[in-house]
Amino acid sequence: MYPYYVLVKNERGNMILVDLKQNEDINEMIWEYFVPLLLPEDAYGDFLDDVEDIANLTYMQKLQDDSIKIMDVNGRILNVKYSSLNTENLSTIIDLYALNTSYINSFLRNYREEATFNTTLALASKYLDFAIFANSDKMRSAIVRLSGLYLKEANNYIDQGNDNRKQANIQKLALQEIKSALISSHPKKARRLLKKYELSDIDPSNKGLFSFLNYATFTILNNKKEAEIWEKEINAAESRKAKLIININ
């Protein structure tokens, strides 16, 4: 068995080099935050097949390299961004990616029971909500990227659903992409995308989200007059969520 060296912060706050495969204390620490899994070589094919039409090149390279991968319960990688470090910093990985997913557990469970347009979109949307509460920009970006995989997957299900709901579902996806832009601190992009729609174009099932996005976007862009118009169209819970997004922009 080949050694796998990582950097870990010891009790004195100093970085030390340890063999991940031999150090029991480190293994106990990992179990506290994650469920470790050593993938056999023949398992990678299944993971590649799962994301081949929704993942970009960076994701695919991460999936196939020998680095530590933090995955959600569906095997989707969270820590995709490339690191130039030759030796991975396990303490940093834990600080960044040890998430309490109880907030989204029911959505993860629904998706695992049956992946449909609705369950996949709901999970993607909930991941975006989860990203609002991230304790760092880096963590937020990682969750938003993960959400993007599920949004792309949801898009693949559109043609499998009810034709009568196709345009409404396409619109739902587009609005979630705008929500993603806002949470990623790109309000001008969000406004540019929102300008493509008139309220009369919006399916009744999407009007709540459309109003929410307009209110949040105009508020971030300091357009108080327009923000006040849209504020009347959202409820108290949506107003609280909007304020959280406003605070990270």
Asked if 81 and 108 sit in the same domain, the reply is: no
Other Cβ atoms within 10 Å of 166 Cβ, number: 13
- The residue out of 69, 97, 125 marking a domain boundary is 97
How many domains does the chain contain in total? 2
Asked if 221 and 128 sit in the same domain, the reply is: yes
- The residue out of 67, 97, 127 marking a domain boundary is 97
For 7-33, what is each residue's pLDDT tens digit?
998 888 888 998 888 888 888 888 888
Cα 61 to its chain centre, rounded Å, is 19
Asked if 93 and 161 sit in the same domain, the reply is: no
What is the structure's pLDDT at 84?
A: 62
Q: Containing domain of residue 217, as a range?
A: 103-247
Return the exposure string of 105-135: e unless at least 16 CB atoms fall within 10 Å of the residue's CB, then b. Answer: eebbebbeeebebbbbbbbbbbbbbbbbebe
What is the structure's pLDDT at 204?
A: 95
- The residue out of 97, 114, 143 marking a domain boundary is 97
What is the structure's pLDDT at 39?
A: 77
CB 157 within 8 A of CB 117: yes
For 136-151, what is each residue's pLDDT tens digit?
999 999 999 999 999 9
Q: What is the pLDDT along the chain (249 residues), one digit of tens a residue?
A: 678 888 998 888 888 998 888 888 888 888 888 988 887 777 778 888 889 899 999 999 998 888 899 999 999 999 998 666 678 899 999 999 988 889 999 999 999 999 999 999 999 999 999 999 998 999 999 999 999 999 999 999 998 867 788 999 999 999 999 999 999 999 999 999 999 999 999 999 999 999 999 999 999 999 999 999 999 999 999 999 999 999 999
What's the predicted TM-score (pTM) here? 0.91
What is the structure's pLDDT at 208?
A: 95
Asked if 147 and 225 sit in the same domain, the reply is: yes
151/197 Cα distance (integer angstroms): 20
What is the structure's pLDDT at 25?
A: 85
What is the rounded (10 degree) CA torsion for 49, 53, 58, 59? -50
3-state secondary structure 92-152: HHHHHHCCCHHHHHHHHHHHHHCCCHHHHHHHHHHHHHHHHCCCCHHHHHHHHHHHHHHHH
CB 77 within 8 A of CB 62: yes
Asked if 57 and 168 sit in the same domain, the reply is: no
Asked if 67 and 126 sit in the same domain, the reply is: no
Asked if 116 and 231 sit in the same domain, the reply is: yes
Asked if 197 and 124 sit in the same domain, the reply is: yes
Mean residue pLDDT of the chain comes to 91
Asked if 121 and 170 sit in the same domain, the reply is: yes
Asked if 193 and 240 sit in the same domain, the reply is: yes
Asked if 112 and 177 sit in the same domain, the reply is: yes
What is the structure's pLDDT at 46?
A: 84
Asked if 224 and 111 sit in the same domain, the reply is: yes
What SS3 state is found at 187? helix
What is the structure's pLDDT at 134?
A: 93
